[in-house]
């Protein structure tokens, strides 16, 4: 089965691409290798699949590539590409978020409508909720983003829902809650904590450490992606949380990383930054019912796996 994976070289995209290929699917991957973080790391993410006979890499910007041509021979789409990160989405950075999160999604949806794909699964974010009033937060909660990033992810999600309800494009949006694991982006907290602990450098902690998150292991997210692509009976325009049922504060995470690495973690305390939600925690009831998906990896186990991977990335003698 032909599947288009956008953002295939990213953290989640590379793991999902590997799994799809292992399951016998043909994958056309698209990635622009933007410089939000080191493009060389993203190229390394794909090292294991570049020579796979069922994998085709299209290197280019979805803002300019022909989306209909990309969908030639494709039956299902997993749209993971986008501009990540909260802090860079303010001020002049906002334009890139609008283009890469909103405009690109609309172009792909138009092409999916024209071609008639069997499923269009897209990555959304827990950032759409902002500071939710209810935990665990169900999908029926009114979204109130507290960052420009969250605004663009919500806009893209609304586009998926609109194309689903108005034109029958079989869309499903997945609201990811703080994904972590091997290959995690270098700007994300767990990656930075582990790297700082192993290398003896300092971790910048924004706020007092009481902010809490639902941390979702990447292998569980891959399973959710596959469920979103292949589950039967998913109504067009659906939206599902992809979360871990357990949450942890940043301070608790620091302690867990110290225990797991066996290394002290030096922390530089900095003021909280605009756009960071105080707490996230998603209900997974709908994903269980609609997609047949549930998380299975405990935070301690996932952090241990990420630490083991991070040790392998250290230079010899490091």
Rounded CA-CA distance 87/108 in Å is 26
Residue among 288, 192, 194 nearest 245 (CA): 288
Give the pair of three-digit tokens for residue 310: 């991070």
User: Can you tell me whether residue 266 is helix, strand or coil?
Assistant: strand
Rounded CA-CA distance 111/107 in Å is 6
Give the pair of three-digit tokens for residue 215: 């941390």
Rounded CA-CA distance 289/169 in Å is 21
Rounded CA-CA distance 304/301 in Å is 5
Give the pair of three-digit tokens for residue 80: 């993971």
Give, to the nearest 10 degrees, the angle between helix 299-313 and helix 189-199. 50
223 Ramachandran zone, left/alpha/beta (phi>0; psi -120 to 50): alpha
Residue 97 falls in the annotated catalytic set: no
Work out the number of other CB atoms within 10 angstroms of the CB of residue 252: 14
Give the pair of three-digit tokens for residue 158: 């609304």
Rounded CA-CA distance 150/108 in Å is 20
Q: Considering the candidates 129, 149, 163, 180, report the single residue annotated as catalytic.
A: 149
Please give the positions annotated as active site: 149
């Amino acid at each position: 089965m032909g599947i288009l994976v956008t953002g295939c070289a990213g953290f989640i995209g590379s793991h999902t691409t590997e799994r799809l290929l292992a399951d016998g699917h043909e994958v056309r991957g698209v990635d622009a290798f933007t410089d939000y973080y080191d493009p060389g790391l993203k190229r390394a993410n794909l090292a294991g699949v570049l020579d796979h006979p069922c994998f085709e890499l299209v290197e280019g910007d979805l803002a300019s590539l022909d989306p209909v041509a990309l969908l030639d021979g494709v039956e299902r789409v997993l749209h993971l590409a986008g501009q990540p990160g909260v802090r860079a989405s303010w001020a002049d950075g906002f334009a890139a978020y609008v283009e890469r999160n909103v405009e690109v999604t609309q172009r792909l949806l138009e092409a999916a409508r024209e071609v008639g794909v069997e499923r269009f699964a897209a990555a959304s974010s827990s950032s759409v909720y902002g500071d939710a009033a209810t935990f665990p937060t169900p999908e029926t909660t009114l979204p109130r983003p507290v960052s420009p990033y969250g605004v663009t992810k919500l806009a893209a999600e609304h586009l998926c829902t609109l194309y689903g309800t108005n034109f029958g494009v079989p869309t499903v949006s997945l609201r990811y809650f703080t994904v972590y694991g091997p290959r995690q982006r270098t700007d994300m907290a767990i990656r930075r904590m582990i790297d700082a602990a192993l290398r003896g450098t300092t971790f910048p902690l924004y706020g007092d450490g009481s902010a809490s998150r639902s941390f979702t292991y990447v292998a569980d997210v891959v399973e959710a992606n596959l469920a979103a692509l292949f589950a039967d009976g998913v109504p067009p325009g659906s939206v599902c949380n992809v979360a871990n049922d357990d949450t942890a504060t940043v301070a608790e995470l620091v302690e867990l990383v110290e225990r797991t690495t066996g290394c002290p973690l030096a922390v530089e305390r900095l003021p909280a930054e605009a756009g960071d939600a105080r707490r996230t925690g998603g209900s997974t009831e709908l994903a269980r019912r609609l997609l047949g998906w549930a998380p299975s990896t405990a935070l301690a186990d996932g952090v241990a796996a990420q630490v083991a991977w991070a040790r392998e990335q250290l230079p010899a003698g490091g």
